[in-house]
Copies of this chain bind each other. A is one copy, B any other.
Amino acid sequence: MPAALMQDELFRAFSTYALIVILKMMMMSFVTAYCRITRGAFANEEDVSCRSAEEKKKMLRTDPEVERVRRCHLNDLENVVPFVLVGLFYALSGPELSSALLHFRVFAGARIFHTFSYLGHLPQPCRALSFFLGLLVTFSMAYNVLSNVFAI
């Protein structure tokens, strides 16, 4: 039997959007792995153990594209995790459904566009704008929660 929370339309919507951005973030692991393999740039000795000594040396290196993917993944961690945590308090604090949906949708859109901007080398300010839009949504939710439940 699902907890009562999951009967709530707003909490279901929050769960859906939170899962979408978390899954998007986890996809970055596959992008990193793909990039490491196609570019032959590994970080750990055991990943290249079946190669000759000379090849090993070449393959244990940092590659600019791999580092870019890793920065994108770290940026997701720095933004998606706060969104989900702040969003949890926000969803529990009883906002308007329409206003909450707007927050969730803008954030999900902004972060998906951020990933495309980052990995696709799109010219600035694509990446910067999508980054700030995501931050703005999280700050707006945090403001809503604090103005409701502030207790220090």
- Structural contact, A5 and B6, CB atoms closer than 8 A: no
CA distance in complex: A84, B84 (Å): 11
Mask, A1-44, CB within 8 Å of B = 1, is 11101101100110111110011011011000000000000011
Q: CB of A111 within 8 A of chain B?
A: no
**Nearest B residue to A64 by beta-carbon distance?**
B45
Q: Is the interface of A mostly helix, strand, loop or mixed?
A: helix
Mask, A62-93, CB within 8 Å of B = 1, is 00000110010110011101101110110011
- Complex contacts, A12 vs chain B, CB 8 Å: 149-151
- Complex contacts, A118 vs chain B, CB 8 Å: 44
- Complex contacts, A94 vs chain B, CB 8 Å: 1-3, 6
**Nearest B residue to A9 by beta-carbon distance?**
B151
A contact residues, total (Cβ < 8 Å): 62
CA distance in complex: A88, B11 (Å): 12
The contact of A86 among B8, B22, B77, by CB within 8 Å, is B22
Q: CB of A112 within 8 A of chain B?
A: no
Mask, A113-146, CB within 8 Å of B = 1, is 0000010011110010001000100110010011
